[in-house]
Structure 1
Amino acid sequence: MTNATPELSGILEAALYVDDLDTAEQFYGTVLGLPRLMRAGDRHVFFRVGATILLIFNPAQTRHPPAPDALPVPPHGATGPGHVCFSASDAEITAIRAVLDAAGHDIESDFHWPNGARSLYTRDPAGNSIEFAEPKLWAS
């Protein structure tokens, strides 16, 4: 007999990896205006995004096993650019584009999908692909 897998209700946190936490903190905290929850030296900085947490890690620091007196979070990390998509209305995407333009961040793409949902793509200073999309992108 097999056990049924419970239905997952959402994503609690998402992680991106950067080499320069100061630059990442300026982009996510100042340019995008995300509330910073905490920072631990050159290891990580965390931001609140609605009910979700965006974790920004320095992969060189997260590859090390935890100290004996630390929480038992296993080593992790990634190399190369990642991707995260923020949920935003069409009007919010327009406002975000204006903020990014004013801050000198290039827009890679701004378009409507076949179902009519709008997506805006840019890169953070570490090269991660950052998307802002209308939730109807994934509506069934």
Structure 2
Amino acid sequence: MVSAPPIDGILETAVYVEDMDAAHAFYHGVLGLPRMVKGERLYAYDAGPAQTLLVFHRGHTAEDVPTEGGVVPGHNSVGHAHFAFRIGGSAVDAWRVYLAQCGIDVISEVIWPAGGTSLYFNDPAGNVLEMASAPLWSNFTR
């Protein structure tokens, strides 16, 4: 069998929301992510080196979108999504305090068998976000 070519990582993570203004107030205003793109159907945020968070306007992305460079296939999601931000172990307490100060409830906290900690909370659309410190996965040890 032929081996797959290498993958360098995940470039984009996407969530779908109903209220783009509330999403921007949260992702930029609370989490501090710089917005790189503002459109009717999509906001894009810088989520770290070579990492982008795409916030799509739910119900406005099912159709293909022609561009000068080609067609972007339509896509959609139903229900709440989940993704995690990578944080340092020394930042867990700071994030716990900061989220509380912002009125954001940590809905769950998990200390993983490997020793990392995850703080789970919701964005305004109900998506489940996570601040996760290493070690957690075998490829996330520091």
Same fold (TM over 0.5): yes
Aligned pair in 2 of structure 1 residues 98, 40: CA closer, same or farther (>3 Å)?
same
| 1:27 alignment counterpart | 26
What are the residue-to-residue correspondences of 1:1-140 with 2, within 5 Å?
2-41=1-40, 43-51=41-49, 52-67=51-66, 71-139=70-138
SS in 1 for 2:10: coil
Please identify, of 67-76 and 31-40, the stretch whose mean Cα deviation from structure 2 is larger. 67-76
Partners of 1:44 and 1:83 in 2: how far apart?
18
Q: Which amino acid aligns with 1:50?
A: G
Which protein is richer in helix relative to its size? 1
SS in 2 for 1:138: coil
Gaps in structure 2 of 5+ consecutive residues: none
Superposed CA deviations along residues 35-55 of structure 1, whole A, max 9, x for unmatched, are: 1111102x1111011120000
Superposed CA deviations along residues 45-87 of structure 1, whole A, max 9, x for unmatched, are: 1101112000000121111222576841010010100001000
Partners of 1:68 and 1:45 in 2: how far apart?
17
- Percent identity of the aligned residues? 38
Partners of 1:7 and 1:68 in 2: how far apart?
28
Partners of 2:92 and 2:26 in 1: how far apart?
17
Contact 2:107–2:121 (CA<8 Å) still a contact in 1? yes
What's the TM-score once normalised by structure 2's chain length?
A: 0.89
SS in 2 for 1:30: helix
Matched pairs, number: 138
Please identify, of 61-70 and 128-137, the stretch whose mean Cα deviation from structure 2 is larger. 61-70
Gaps in structure 1 of 5+ consecutive residues: none
Partners of 2:35 and 2:135 in 1: how far apart?
28
Please identify, of 56-65 and 117-126, the stretch whose mean Cα deviation from structure 2 is larger. 56-65
Q: Which amino acid aligns with 1:6?
A: P
